[in-house]
Amino acid sequence: MKNILKTKELGIGAILLLVCIIITLINPVFLTADNLADVLKANAVLGILAVGMTLIIITGGIDVSVAAVTSAVAVAIGHLMLYLPDHPVSLVVVFAAAVFAGTLLGMINGFFIVKFSIPPIVVTLGTLSIISGALLFITNGNYMSGANFPEVFTAFSKYEIFGISILIYILLFFSLITWGILKYTVIGRSIYAFGGNSVSAVRVGISMKKVQYFIYGYMGFLAGIAAVTQTAYIRAVDPNGLLGFELTVIAAVVIGGASILGGNGSIAGTLLGTLLLGVMQNGLILARVDSYWQNLVTGTVIILAVSYDHLQKKRIDAQTAQIEVK
């Protein structure tokens, strides 16, 4: 059992390693600590959102409103910061407000999904349209420059521990928490059970409502965290900056081995999926690949990675089946 768990992410990990080796051979700059830190920092937002999305996809659901929720929270805290004094407490206020607003928006998704049993994709598409429409109306798409943010926020965004940006620690921290939830808590095991077979899950006494409220609320919570991370990363608020980003988030989760039909998926896999996307973007520039070819290369690597991953899984499944027969 332990071996299987270990090999589950092997396929995607192997491809990632291969890509890293090839890029390093072309341009050794890739394998410098600074560059790897760049990759992680640039993909912290993607990672945080993808981790939350993993829980939803494991249950067979989907949330296409994540990018819009993140943008909405970013705009909200951007405006909030114009009124906050330059004091460490302001940071706490920003985080609290972001998490509150995000969770609230996530709970609204959860409410419609649970209360009216509307398929998640329909509900979240609706909230996606509403939120992005409202955002465009309110902001008119104008950037907010970070020049007016409190000094303490700028300092926070540049803060490093052992030379590694705070944003990377945020990603690692919430990945670890989410991994813990999935592995060691009742709700975490319920998420897997629910995605594996919702009818049996209900029969053994798992509350469908509770699980769904939790995952969509938690997604909103992480979107709030992602909004702070995003604002810290670009030190500005761009209401259009994440338009269409939900597809990248879902891609990271699916590349990481989660099944869009539910029941399958892991935090480690999702992080590897996120890394693969991030490494590709960084690596193609480092390898000086012409823009015209970049999308083609990215697409090819993704298909290779996912095919290899699925082959690997099939082999493992075949082996386990054999053992059971014997």
Among 35, 154, 207, 298, binds other proteins (CB under 8 A): 35
Collapse the DSSP code of 119 into the 3-class scheme (helix H, G, I; strand E, B; otherwise coil) and give the result: coil
Instruction: Determine which helix (DSSP H) or strand (DSSP E) holds 227, and give its type and residue range.
Output: helix 208-234
Decide: is 33 part of the binding site for other proteins (CB under 8 A): no
Is residue 80 within 8 Å of residue 74, measured between CB atoms? no
* DSSP code per residue over 244-303: THHHHHHHHHHHTT--TTSS---HHHHHHHHHHHHHHHHHHHHTT--HHHHHHHHHHHHH
List the one residue from 2, 3, 33, 34 that touches other proteins (CB under 8 A).
34
111, 235, 297, 298: residue in contact with other proteins (rule CB under 8 A): 235
> Residue 133 interacts with other proteins (CB under 8 A)?
yes
Q: Which stretch binds other proteins (CB under 8 A): 31-39, 90-98, 165-173, 192-200?
A: 31-39
E strand or H helix at 160, and its extent?
strand 160-161
Which residue's CB is nearer to other proteins, number 122 or number 311?
122
Give the residue, chosen from 42, 93, 164, 166, that forms a contact with other proteins under the rule CB under 8 A.
Answer: 42
Q: Is residue 137 involved in binding other proteins (CB under 8 A)?
A: yes
Q: Which of 171, 251, 286, 306 binds other proteins (CB under 8 A)?
A: 286
Q: Please report how close the Cβ of residue 308 comes to other proteins at its closest, in angstroms.
A: 21
Question: Using alpha carbons only, what angle is made at residue 48 by residues 43 and 51, rounded to the nearest 5 degrees?
Answer: 120
CA distance 316 to 8: 9
Burial (CB count within 10 angstroms: exposed 0-12, middle 13-18, buried 19+), residue 235: middle
User: Among 2, 115, 203, 288, which residue interacts with other proteins (rule: CB under 8 A)?
Assistant: 288
Among 204, 290, 322, 323, binds other proteins (CB under 8 A): 290
| Interatomic CA distance for residues 50 and 256, integer angstroms | 10
Distance CA 30, CA 261 (A): 36
Q: What is the footprint of other proteins within residues 189-218 (CB under 8 A)? A: none
Upper half-sphere CA count for residue 221 (Cβ side, 13 Å): 13
Q: Which is nearer to other proteins, 81 or 181 (CB)?
A: 81
Task: Find the shortest distance in angstroms from Cβ 146 to other proteins.
Answer: 8
Residue number with CB closer to other proteins (47 or 239): 239
Integer Cα distance of 242 and 128 in angstroms:
12
- Residues in touch with other proteins (CB under 8 A): 27, 29, 34-35, 38, 42, 62, 64, 121-122, 125, 128-129, 132-133, 136-137, 139-143, 145, 147, 234-236, 238-241, 243-244, 260-261, 281-282, 285-286, 288-292, 294
